[in-house]
Amino acid sequence: MSLTDTPALSRPAASLLDLIGKTPMVEVTKLDTGKCRLLLKLENQNPGGSIKDRIALTMIEVAENEGWLKPGGTIVEATAGNTGLALTLVGKQKGYKVLLVIPDKMSKEKIQHLRAMGADVRLTRSDVPHGHPEYYTDMAERLAQQIPGAYYVNQFANDANSEAHFKSTAPEIWEQTGGNIDAFVAGIGSGGTITGIARYLKAQGSKAEIILADPVGSALAGIVNEGKPGPDGSYTVEGIGQNFVPDTADINLIDKAYSIPDAESIATARDLLLKEGVLAGSSSGCLIAAALRWCREQTEPKTVVTFVCDTGAKYLSKVYNDTWLADQGLAQREITGNLSDLISRKYEMGDVVVVGPEDTIDTAFKRMRGSDVSQLPVIQDGRLIGIVDESDIVHLMNTDEITRKDRFAKAVSSAMTRDLDTVQVSETLDALIPLFDRDRVAIVLDGEKFVGLITRADLINHLSLNR
């Protein structure tokens, strides 16, 4: 990059809200894009970390101008997280209360972020369809009717949603590409992004193909490609995909749709970080996976634009967590047909949190809390010699006539269980039941070599994934 290509720095902004939009664009150079040029508009650079900052600002300003939202009012919305973060950012800056209804599959980072910003977060079921009283949009609408001075944003049927992208996002894309764009790829969460940008491109006379990226399990790709909903199912990708067409979405503007499996979306997001250095979320992985499919189908050079919708920092506990992926059946693992298939944290891979016999009880407890486990294998010279769990620590706390400080300073060897219930890795699932009946965790060995632990939750998860 020459000095003349370097973007000029702007003067200090009067408000964080003034920094929404005008996001940069970067070219993908290390992923296989076939003959095409793939450009990513970095919406993760918005103040709230996502593309939803744009619509939050516009929807709130329109509500204020039309008298729907008045001083002291409450903003109510159903959201997969990012719209909620954006509405909270904008709403709090403007002095409003914010109440958000969020499906329970959302990442804990998003929920913690929202609560830290002062939002009233209500979690609801993610396994019920549109029209069910506990579906997140139905619940949000009901709450808004019950709260005096509340304004239900309803991004799924709010014209200001697509208008925000028509007036800001799309003109930026047009300027950054010089109008040279052959395909635009987006998903449908509320529908505003793909609708607003597609309308703008067509208004400019662009012949760009409008491509929908849709998670497998969402109904939308089937509606676009075949005129009927695709097979209904669940998916882990957050923020895009629906089992209904939002009022904001104009399906007729879309030329083609790709159904992207969760594993491909997540692998693409992780590949993007590994090769391009861009930390993106799961929906971005879905969009980029679809864009790459389209690119690789082309026989001549073309320019494609899609988004990094939000930052992957919101998904560190999920998309970038190998253990979580294994628990969801999304990790690339060798299937052995024995008990090792139930073990998501294997000792030989360094995934098992362990403790030594000379470590203190305080150390053991902190490792349990830090890793969200209730028991730790005790390892000495590479061999399993015992196990310590929460009940062992509680027993020690209740029996010694010494100070609490001294109790926590005791060695793990003074509390651990040496009488171990083990099973061989070659045994069947039936071997686990007697251990669980005795309220034990299954310690799995391969001969004398420690393989890992299996809990009740591991067994249930295995049975759920392999129905």
Angle between helices 82-93 and 108-116 (to 10 degrees): 10
Q: Which residues pair with 383 in a beta bridge?
A: 380
Please tell me the distance from the alpha carbon of residue 21 to that of residue 58, in angstroms, as a whole number: 12
420: nearest Cα among 391, 387, 394, 380:
387
Q: Which of 52, 97, 302, 318 is catalytic?
A: 52
CA distances (Å), origin 434, targets 76, 252, 340, 441, 446:
50, 58, 18, 10, 19
CA distances (Å), origin 32, targets 6, 111, 123, 192, 268:
27, 35, 39, 29, 11
Please tell me the distance from the alpha carbon of residue 120 to that of residue 149, in angstroms, as a whole number: 15
CA distances (Å), origin 128, targets 103, 134, 232:
10, 7, 12
Distance of CA 166 to the CA centre of its chain: 27
37-42 and 25-27 strand pairing: antiparallel
Q: Which of 162, 206, 259, 283 is catalytic?
A: 283
Q: Reply yes or no on whether 234 is catalytic.
A: no
Q: Which residues pair with 411 in a beta bridge?
A: 360
Q: Reply yes or no on whether 52 is catalytic.
A: yes
**Catalytic residue annotation:** 52, 283
